[in-house]
Amino acid sequence: MTHAARSAVWLMIGAIVLFATVGDVLIASAMRQVGDFDKIRCRTGLFGAILAVLGNVRFLLGVLSMALSFFSLLYALSWAEVSLVAPASAALTFVTNAFAAKWVLKENVDRRRWIAAFCVCAGVFFLSR
């Protein structure tokens, strides 16, 4: 693989990670706004719960971002090995999501969760070698 091709693949991986992180954060934020899915399903049934989710703007924007990530993944997979693209994008997304969850979602990302994110990131890296 030439230097230019390698750069293009990493650019695609960057796009997958960016869209996936934005999508994850928007969707997590939407589900937090909507509330406990199980409780809503108890009150209004499955249809009511689905409507509650589909009516949330953050959810729709999150899905749009995830769709962009998905098509970036399809595009990247048609050029590069899945053994590079899937683990690399997944591993990087764990770390970017941890940062985004702490600063945007204000989740309690304690030392335990940081260690978990980096363990999984390194684990996915090793698994893909």
Partner 1 sequence: MSSSTVRKSGAFDIASLSQSTLNFRRYLVLAAVMVTASLGDVFLSAGMREAGPISIHHLSSLFAALRIPWVLAGIVLLTAFFASYLTALSWADLTFVLPATSFGYVLIALLSKFWLHETITAGRWAGILLIMAGVGFVARGPSYTNHGETTFHESPSRTGALEGPADCAREHSA
Binding positions for partner 1, rule: CB under 8 A: 24-25, 27-28, 31-40, 42-43, 52-53, 56, 66, 70-71, 73-75, 77-79, 82, 86-87, 90, 93-94, 97-98, 101-102, 105-110, 112-113, 115-120, 122-129
Question: Whole-number minimum distance, CB 3 to partner 1, in Å?
Answer: 18
Nearest distance from C-beta of residue 80 to partner 1, angstroms:
10
All residues at 6 or more sequence positions from 50 whose CB lies less than 8 Å from its CB, including other chains: none
For partner 1, the closer CB: 1 or 42: 42
Least distance in angstroms from the C-beta of 68 to partner 1: 12
DSSP character string of 45-114: HHHHHHHHHHT-HHHHHHHHHHHHHHHHHHHHHTTS-HHHHHHHHHHHHHHHHHHHHHHTS-----HHHH
